[in-house]
Every structure is written in structure tokens, then in C-alpha cells.
Structure 1
Amino acid sequence: MTPLHRIAVIGNSLPRRCGIATFTTDLHKAISMSRADLETSIVAMTDPGQAYDYPPAVAFQIKDGHIDDYMRAADFLNAGRFDIVCLQHEFGIFGGEAGAHILVLLSRLTMPVVTTFHTVLARPTAKQRAVVERIVDASSKVVVMANKGRELLRDVYLVPDDKIEVIAHGIPDVAFVGSDAAKARLGFAGKSVILTFGLLSPNKGIEVMIDAMPSIMKRCTDAVYVVLGATHPNLVRDQGEAYREGLMARVRELGIQDHVVFLDRFVDLATLLEFISMCDVYVTPYLNEAQMTSGTLAYSFGLGKPVVSTPYWHARELLTEGCGVLVPFGDAAAIGGEIANLLTDDVRRQAMSRRAYAASRMMTWECTAERYMSVFETARHGHRPRVFARSDMGLPGLRGPAPPDMQIGHFLSMCDDVGLLQHAVHSVPDRAHGYCVDDNARALLLACALNSPGEQPLSEVLTARFAAFVQHAWNPDTGQFRNFMGFNRTWLEDRGSEDSHGRTLWALGEAARTDASPARRRWAAALFAQALSIAESFRSPRAWAFMLLGLDAYCAVAPDDLHAREVRHSLAARLMSCLASVETPDWVWFEEGLAYDNARLPQALMLAGMATQTPQYIDAGLRSLRWLMTQQTTAAGQFRPVGTSGFGEQRQHPRAFDQQPVEATATIAACLTAWRADGDAEWKAMATRAFAWFLGSNDLSVALVDPLTGSCRDGLHPDRANENRGGESVVCYLLGLAEMRQLARVNASLTRPIALRAVGA
């Protein structure tokens, strides 16, 4: 394997003011200096409302709340052919609930990821746990800076021990020197200096140290406590300088103004090292043990400074064997006593200083970079792209597993004696939202699809129930179908939308052709003819498309219905007119924007063209579907359905989220219709890629379906799947599955397409 050539580090970056920014910058610099031929870059996280003058090392920046930035960053890293991405993870620096936006980036990367966890929570929320587990799953290796981190990852998050590496926080490699020269340069000559450095925030325990100062001063009258650092930017944004002012007020109240110095600044590395060099004791009085990493502790330890600290996790591991002193949390008397003991005992203090400096030599940034490079090599050597679903699944003439079995357990649980319920809470049917004719028409389509050879038909009772719902939805007073019904069987409207009427006509047309019951086929044909007339006045292109799908089936069983044939030509002509008025070389579509069920428009034109032997309809359908597939295919060749967040935008590249099952199902059916139309096997590959979206070949590498129950999640958000599994979603999945299972049954030796009946929702 060739040596590592390009490495990217994701995290905050200087000049942003925070510990992660300092660490990311220092780690990047150390890695870049480890080999002369190595190319390194930083992908920097930028917080809301801020802009930073980043150095050239920052090759890309992400505004933490902008989901599109995460996707573009992944595209940048993939296009740049980076060998490794090293993610710096801390809660609070990524957008989304519990920082879940970072998952959008990780799920798209083609190279191995090594993640450094700066915090590992012992008691995470459910969302925090889920995010951490997803990050671990996306990472080839994970790094923590203390053994406590390894323990928590292993015991709380069940991470395999061999996936975890412990690499100490890096430190500058500087000579061991006394404090007098630095004190003189900084104006503290003749003083016993206690130092705390870092961004001020209430969890740092500065007030405890202030309360300890009077007892220290009784035994060491020249003691000065220097608090170096700006207030944390997030705290300033929310509360201004109230916290710092409160600390200063406490100093005045105790009358120790001459012994406590606040230096309100964010210093560069050279200045920080100068301040650490001049202190006699470094103190970290943090209030919470769940501090996995402290850069200020590591730096002070590395310069050989005696440290007095509360026993948070990092300090407990680092300050062993006489290298420092631990005191209880929030105990001003204890911390004051230990600091006074050190300041008044030169021999003990100097011995502790030498031990700390000697123990820290393996923590220099040079050593840390060597450890990281070794982990990177291991991660790359063991990296295998995860495969969730093959795009050749079940295709004639192509190797691959057969589509899953048809399981309808969840679908049946969503049905009652009225019909198919609309929504679910997780997998539990939600009666609060009742029913709609849209979903029951889809269910009738599924009943028709399961009449195909090789499938187990739905029960007569259940199929009749969907038909009865459609019949009851018919309102003869308006000549249209109602759509929404409450759980109490009360209609919530006199008429539904044009689209729901068109979709119901589609189901009726299909039932007229393929329902198992001859009597129900006659019923469906009669109601179709009755409901067709008013639909001629509709203005929705999707309603036209749904009606054309229904007409394709209805006209096959009622060839003498001249009116239906005329309507088919009229609707196809309207779609052709829309395409002609909107189409440009880079926007081959019927409307100014993309919305839902997009693939049904070209599918309807192709079916009309094949049935009426009108080549221009077929050509227009193929042309528009090819263009649509360019919009729904990632650079890696993965299916990405048009997201709902972009609905209504004009002539814009589709948004990636939220992604819904209805788009995948429509695409499967349309691509197979295109294959029937022109015989190009690539359409079959596109259909199977769209179906693979259900099984996990998607932006988040998350399976949306449970193959054991046939349930399907309601969609894909930027950071997670929608855990609810409603009626539309389960029917869409099962209809797409029926298409793929029918395709898999086609003889692999056929040299030309056979007539596959279009189903779907």
C-alpha cells in the first residue's frame, strides 16, 4: 500500500477561540510536520453569526447549522481523494440535535475516518448515545485521551476494545526552566504565582479558588492568583460578562484585589507558554469529574509545573506518582491548604516539577503525531467500504441476492375494519389522524399487485374493505372523491384534492384490470367512468399523470370507451405542452420546480405513448426521466430522491432532505416503464438503485425497512430516519418490492423486455 499522502482534520480551528480550535490547529501542524511529503488540510466548523480570518491550512469551512455545508464538505473531501479524515468530536460544535448534522458528512465519505472523542459522557441522553454510536460505526478507529474514555466507550457504548486507541493530549516540546525570568518579563517578579488559564465559564470553579485565596495569603503573603483567559464566547453571547463581573465582585468582597489578577484575553501559544513558565503552581479547580480532556492541564504538566487539581477524569490519570495533587470538588479549604503547602515547601515543589516534566516527554506533539500516523495507517489498512444493498439485486443476467420476501405483517397491523390508517407512532397505528382515500387507493393498488404470479394475494375481506373505502369516498353531489376521514368515520371535507382524485382513478383503473374478483372489476370500471368526467377540468400535472396511469389500465379493459381514449390523448398533450413551455437544455422538466411523486409524470407519458403508439410521448418521457435521474443520483452513483425541503424552489438543484419512500417507489416504476419502452438495461440498474435506498444504500447508510415485518420508516432526515412507520410508507415499500420481485422472475435469458405491469404509489 502506498504511503499516506493527504490527510484532513475536521474540527474548530484558530482563530476561533476555544480549546477544540487550539487542539485541531496543533494536531494538524504536528501531523503536517511529521513527513515532508504529506499534504494536510483543516475543515473548520464555524459557529452562528461568526466569520474568521482562517489561515491557508483551512481548505473548507462548515457553518454548523447549515446542513448543505456538511454535504458539500463531504463532496470536497471525496473529490480531493484524501486518504484519511480525522474528526474532532465535541458536543456543541456541530449542528442538529446532539450534533447530529455531522452524520450527514460522515455517511458520504469514501475514505476511512478516525474520530477523536474529546468528551465521552457516562450518562448520555438517548439522542447523544445514538449520535455517538453512529459516529463510532462510521469510524475505522476512535481515539480518546484518557483510559477512562476507553472504559466508557467499551462499557457504556459497547465499542470493541480493539477499535479504541488512547493517545495523550499533545504538548509543546520546550526546555525545563525556572520561573524567575518569565516572572520578570511579565511583571510578577518577587511574587508566588498561582495560574489558571482557559476560557472562563461557571464549570471551571474559579470562584472556589478565589474563596481559597485568603487562607493561602495567611501562609504566603506574596501569593498572586492570575486568571488568564477571555470569557467563553457562548457565555458572552448569552449573558455578556456577567460571570466575570461576578467573580470580580467576589474578589472585592473578600478584599483581595491586590492578590487576584484577571487578564481578559485569548493569548497565542508563545504568550501562553510564557505565562505557564512563570507560575509556581498551576490550578484546575473544575467542578465536574466528567472532564475527559484538559489541554491547559496537559500543557502545564508538560512544562513541569506542580499542579493542584480537582479529581476530574483527566487529572486523576495524569497526576499520579507524585506528579501533582488532587483535592475534593468545591472544597476551598482543601485547595487552599495544598497550594499553600507547595508554595512554602520549595523542595517538595521542585521535586514534583521535575517528576511532571520527565513523565510528560512521551506527550510531545511530535510523539502524538507519530501515534496518530500509526493509527491512520492501521485504519486505512483495515478499511473496507460498507455495502448495505447491491444495485444489481435480482436483475436478469446480473449476479446479486434476490429481493426480500414479501412480508405484510406491519401493513396488516395498520388496517382496521374501516381501511388503512394514515399514520403511526413508531410502529403503533395512530388513530388520532384517521384515514384518507390516498392511502386506501394505494392499498387497493397493492392488492392488485399481489395478484401477480408468485405472490400471495391479500384476503378477499381486506381487498373488499379498501374498495368499500373508495366507494364511500365518492361524493355524487360534487362528482369528486373525499380524502380525509376522522377515526370516528366522519368525513372532514366534501371533496379532496385534484391529486387524491387522480390517484383514486388510478387505483380504480388498475382494479378494473387486475382485481381478483370479476364483480369488483366491473364495479371499478363503472366508478372510474363516472369519476373521469369532472377530472378533465383539473389543472394539476400530477393529477393528470395519475389519471393517465389509471387510463392505461382502464382502456385495456374498456377499449370501446372512446371518451376515455380522448381524455388520455388530451392529458398527454397537456403534459407535452407543459414540457415544451418549461424545458431548457439544463432543465428538462414539466414545471419550474421539483416536488413529490416526480417520476410519475414521465412514466405516465411513456405509458400513453406505448398504448397509443405515439413516439413523441415516449421520447418526452424518456428524456425527462433521464434528466430527473441526473438530479436524483449522487456523484458516487447512489440514489438520492428529491427532498421535501426544496419543494417550491424554482429551477434549483433539489435539496437532499427530507427524503420520502413515495419518491423511491415512483422512480422504480418509472425506470422499469422506461426499460419496457426502449430496452436499455441501464433503466433496470436505476430501478434497483432506487429500491436499494429502502435497504440502506442511501445518504445515511440506514435501512428504512424491517424485512421481517415489512414496515418502512416514514423518511430520511438529514441526521436520522423518521422512526414512525405510517400507511403511505409501508404501502410504498411493498409496491416497490412487488415491482422488484416481478422483475426478478423475468427469465434472465430474455434478450428484449417483456411487458411488466406498472404498479406503485
Structure 2
Amino acid sequence: MDLTDHNKIVKHFFEDVPQINLDYIKGFTSETGIYQHSKFNIPDYHHGYCLDDNARALLLLLMFSVEENKPIENGLIKTYLSYIYYSQEENGWFRNFMSYDLKFLESIGSEDSMGRTIWTLGYLIAHNPFLKYHPIAKETFDRIINHVVTFKSIRAVAYSILGILYFLEKYPNQKSQLEQLSDLVDFLVKEFEAASTDSWPWYEEILSYDNAIIPFSILKAGNFLNNDAVKEIGIKSSIFLDNILFRNGHLSLIGNNGWLTREKQNNNQGQQPIEVASIILWYKELSKLNLDVNASEKIRLSFAWFLGVNDHKESLFDLENMACFDGLEPYGVNQNMGAESNTAFWMSYLHAKPFCK
């Protein structure tokens, strides 16, 4: 497939779907929050809800409102923000998983789910169109934020960096958040220095899930801090990841059926839509730099992954349901249409759109 083919596919898709369509997501949401998983195109009550997906869904709505300059008055922002608030304990920690009968299934959630929530709350606080939600968002943010320095998950730290950067747009002189930002960036720098070699300039000895979010956060933090050493780490790791993701003229994601290590060849089975959303955000950041990565073209190629420009040559978007399938498995397309996949698809759509007209 040559480059003109995927450009035509993407262009035609945006002509057929000229604006974001949240009908499936709205139908996938109850009064409590967005359901976690589906069985084909209906909610699978067996898996209930989770903080992760409600934070993702809220971030999508907020970004849609900002990027498209369109207010959202469909009640979903309140629903997702209410779930986040209810998930938080008085001590600031969040719980992640909730059963269909509204019982939390753990005493404390994953660091990654908390980091994503911090990112979402920071984004909300940074933008004035959501002023009526700022008091509850800031109260929730303030209760969790002092815990971030205990995080050990690299991705949780990356998500938290993004949230703090947005928070500082609103409160640029908040000393405690400036210190936390520096501490979190130092953590990622030390992880990079400990794991990286000349042939493996990365933050871990493995490439697993949502990899692009790490250099994305480092690049944004390095720019905010005006720290050339941090920016250089972001650039080195970005070039490394860029060289891995695109093979045979299309995006080939690292699959979750076995991650990529220094010793093992890449596994491309179990590719997930969440990867694409972060990749597009990352390339948007790279497009601001003078790097030879052809960022605009990579954004179009990344979105084309949803439309069949992938290892299986199968589309993951279903026009009848206006919804995204859950990923590429060894047997082909996973026919379920869960929350993560659909929030990732529409976030990818939102940020790819300016590059795909």
C-alpha cells in the first residue's frame, strides 16, 4: 500500500464522518458512569465500571469542547465527574473497579487509573469553559496530588505530569505543584538513565502499553521547564519509538500478547486502540519541533490504522454503530466495542482531524 492509498482512505472517512459522533458513548453510559466492557455492541454488566474509563470519557468530552469550541450540555460531564468524585476516599486515594451493583471491588485503585484522573482534572481546571465544575475538580485534584510523589508506575507519572502541567496553566505560581512537577520529571529522567543504552534509549527494559505517553509528557515538561537535558531525552526516546512503530508502510503496534524487549522481536498480536490516541497526541507535539519524523504524515497513518491500514488489513470502525471495535487479535478483529476503544477512537479522530482534511 503506497502513501496515497492511506491518505485517500483517511480523507474519504472524514468526508463521510465530518464531525464527532458521541451517540454510542452516550448509549454506553448509565446514571452511574460509562460501562467498562461490552459484549459486541451492548454493555457487559459482568464487568461494571472503572475509574480509568470514566476519566478517559471525561477527558474526551472536555477536549472535544475545547478543540471544536462547542459547549457540551448532554449531562455526560456531570456523570463522569461524579463517578470520579465518588471513587475518591477522604485520604485522596481513588478506587478503580466497581461492580454493576455499585460495589467497589478494591480498597485502592491502580496508580495508572489515578494518573489518568489527575490528567483529566488538570485539563478541566485549565480551561475556563468548565468554570462551573472547577470547585469540585480542584477539591478532588488537591486531595490526590500530594500522593503522586509515591507513584512507581512510569505511565502513572507521565499522566500526572500532564495533569500538573495543565493545572499550572491556571495556577502558574503554585509552588507545591511546581516542585511536584520537578520531582516527577526527575523520576522519569532517572528511569531513562537506568534503563537506556545507545541502542535502547528508553525508560524501561521493555516496551509495553501506551508507550507514546511517556515521551509526550517529557517533551511537554521539558518545554515548560525550559530544560534542554529533559527535552533531549524526550527527543531521543521519541526517535527510538518512531523507528519501531512504523513497518511496511503502516502503523504496527506493540501487541499485548507479549511485549517487546531488547532480546525479543516485536509481537504485533493484541493491538489496542488506546495506543493510537496517545501516538497522535505525541506526534502533534513532535510536529512543533524541527525533527525529521514527518509528524503530519505519521498522524494520518496512525488514524488510518483504525480504517484497515494495519497488519490485518481490517477496519476497526463500524459505521452502522458508529463505534470502534476493541482491537486486533491473532484471529482478526475483536468484535466487542468497549469504553476504552471508543474513547480512544474519538480522541484520535479529534486530534487527527486537522491533519486529515
- Name the TM tier (shorter chain): over 0.9
- Matched-pair contact (CA < 8 Å) for 1:422–1:435: yes
Which residue of structure 2 lines up, in the alignment, with residue 547 of structure 1?
A: 160
Q: 2 CA distance for matches of 1:627 and 1:738?
A: 26
Which residue of structure 1 lines up, in the alignment, with residue 253 of structure 2?
A: 641
Which residue of structure 2 lines up, in the alignment, with residue 715 of structure 1?
A: 327
Matched, 1:676 2:288: yes
Which residue of structure 2 lines up, in the alignment, with residue 206 of structure 1?
A: none
Tell me which amino acid in the other structure corresponds to 1:513: A
What's the secondary structure of 2:44's corresponding residue? strand
- Matched-pair contact (CA < 8 Å) for 2:14–2:356: no
Query: What is the CA distance between 1:393 and its match in structure 2?
Result: 4.7
Q: How does 1:392-471 map to 2 (within 5 A)?
A: 393=10, 404-405=17-18, 406-454=20-68, 456-471=70-85
Which residue of structure 2 lines up, in the alignment, with residue 390 of structure 1?
A: 7
Query: What is the CA distance between 1:648 and its match in structure 2?
Result: 7.4
- Matched-pair contact (CA < 8 Å) for 1:606–1:677: no
What's the secondary structure of 1:543's corresponding residue? helix
Q: 2 CA distance for matches of 1:651 and 1:529?
A: 42
Residues 161-185 of structure 1 show CA distances to partners (whole Å, capped at 9, x for unaligned) of: xxxxxxxxxxxxxxxxxxxxxxxxx
Which residue of structure 2 lines up, in the alignment, with residue 737 of structure 1?
A: 349
Q: How does 1:33-52 map to 2 (within 5 A)?
A: none
- Matched-pair contact (CA < 8 Å) for 1:640–1:699: yes
Query: Once structures 1 and 2 are overlaid, which stretch shifts more, 709-718 or 520-529?
Result: 520-529
Query: What is the CA distance between 1:609 and its match in structure 2?
Result: 0.9
Q: 1 CA distance for matches of 2:155 and 2:185?
A: 12
Q: 2 CA distance for matches of 1:470 and 1:489?
A: 14
- Matched-pair contact (CA < 8 Å) for 2:300–2:356: no
Which residue of structure 1 lines up, in the alignment, with residue 231 of structure 2?
A: 618
In 2 relative to 1, CA 539–703 (structure 1 residues): closer, same or farther, beyond 3 Å? same
In 2 relative to 1, CA 743–448 (structure 1 residues): closer, same or farther, beyond 3 Å? farther
In 2 relative to 1, CA 403–661 (structure 1 residues): closer, same or farther, beyond 3 Å? farther
- Matched-pair contact (CA < 8 Å) for 2:254–2:260: no
Q: 1 CA distance for matches of 2:175 and 2:258?
A: 40
Which residue of structure 2 lines up, in the alignment, with residue 475 of structure 1?
A: 89
Residues 493-543 of structure 1 show CA distances to partners (whole Å, capped at 9, x for unaligned) of: 111011111111111111112363312123223321221111211111111
- The alignment covers a number of residue pairs equal to 356
In 2 relative to 1, CA 680–401 (structure 1 residues): closer, same or farther, beyond 3 Å? farther
- Matched-pair contact (CA < 8 Å) for 1:499–1:540: yes
Tell me which amino acid in the other structure corresponds to 2:127: T
Tell me which amino acid in the other structure corresponds to 2:295: W
What's the secondary structure of 1:721's corresponding residue? strand
What's the secondary structure of 1:536's corresponding residue? helix
Q: 2 CA distance for matches of 1:511 and 1:505?
A: 10
What's the secondary structure of 1:678's corresponding residue? coil
After the TM superposition, which segments of 4 or more aligned residues of structure 1 sit over 6 Å from their partners? 385-388
Q: 2 CA distance for matches of 1:677 and 1:663?
A: 22
Q: 2 CA distance for matches of 1:707 and 1:455?
A: 25
Tell me which amino acid in the other structure corresponds to 1:389: H
Query: What is the CA distance between 1:490 and its match in structure 2?
Result: 1.1
Q: 1 CA distance for matches of 2:236 and 2:309?
A: 26
Residues 327-380 of structure 1 show CA distances to partners (whole Å, capped at 9, x for unaligned) of: xxxxxxxxxxxxxxxxxxxxxxxxxxxxxxxxxxxxxxxxxxxxxxxxxxxxxx
- Matched-pair contact (CA < 8 Å) for 2:9–2:307: no
Which residue of structure 1 lines up, in the alignment, with residue 188 of structure 2?
A: 575
In 2 relative to 1, CA 440–651 (structure 1 residues): closer, same or farther, beyond 3 Å? farther
- Matched-pair contact (CA < 8 Å) for 2:67–2:350: no
Query: What is the CA distance between 1:740 and its match in structure 2?
Result: 1.3
Q: 1 CA distance for matches of 2:63 and 2:54?
A: 14
Residues 628-657 of structure 1 show CA distances to partners (whole Å, capped at 9, x for unaligned) of: 1211111x2210111101237555332111
Name whichever structure is richer in strand by fraction.
Answer: 1
- Matched-pair contact (CA < 8 Å) for 1:583–1:589: yes
Q: TM-score normalized by structure 1?
A: 0.45
Q: How does 1:262-277 map to 2 (within 5 A)?
A: none
Q: 1 CA distance for matches of 2:130 and 2:203?
A: 38
What's the secondary structure of 2:305's corresponding residue? helix
- Matched-pair contact (CA < 8 Å) for 1:402–1:744: no
Q: 2 CA distance for matches of 1:501 and 1:400?
A: 34
- Matched-pair contact (CA < 8 Å) for 1:695–1:705: yes
Q: 2 CA distance for matches of 1:597 and 1:550?
A: 16
Matched, 1:523 2:139: no
Q: 2 CA distance for matches of 1:457 and 1:741?
A: 19
Name whichever structure is richer in helix by fraction.
Answer: 2
Query: What is the CA distance between 1:551 and its match in structure 2?
Result: 1.2
Q: How does 1:116-195 map to 2 (within 5 A)?
A: none
Q: 1 CA distance for matches of 2:140 and 2:16?
A: 35
Residues 564-593 of structure 1 show CA distances to partners (whole Å, capped at 9, x for unaligned) of: 111111111111111112111221210000
- Matched-pair contact (CA < 8 Å) for 1:593–1:648: yes
Q: Which has the higher contact order (CA 8 A, sep 6+)?
A: 2
Which residue of structure 2 lines up, in the alignment, with residue 695 of structure 1?
A: 307
Identity level (%): 27
Query: What is the CA distance between 1:400 and its match in structure 2?
Result: 10
- Matched-pair contact (CA < 8 Å) for 1:710–1:734: no
In 2 relative to 1, CA 616–586 (structure 1 residues): closer, same or farther, beyond 3 Å? same
Q: TM-score normalized by structure 2?
A: 0.93
Query: What is the CA distance between 1:665 and its match in structure 2?
Result: 1.1
- Matched-pair contact (CA < 8 Å) for 1:403–1:744: no
Q: Structure 2 regions of 5+ residues with no counterpart?
A: none
Structure showing greater radius of gyration is: 1
Q: Of residues 682, 690, 706 in structure 1, which corresponds to 2:318?
A: 706
- Matched-pair contact (CA < 8 Å) for 1:512–1:523: no
- Matched-pair contact (CA < 8 Å) for 2:324–2:337: yes
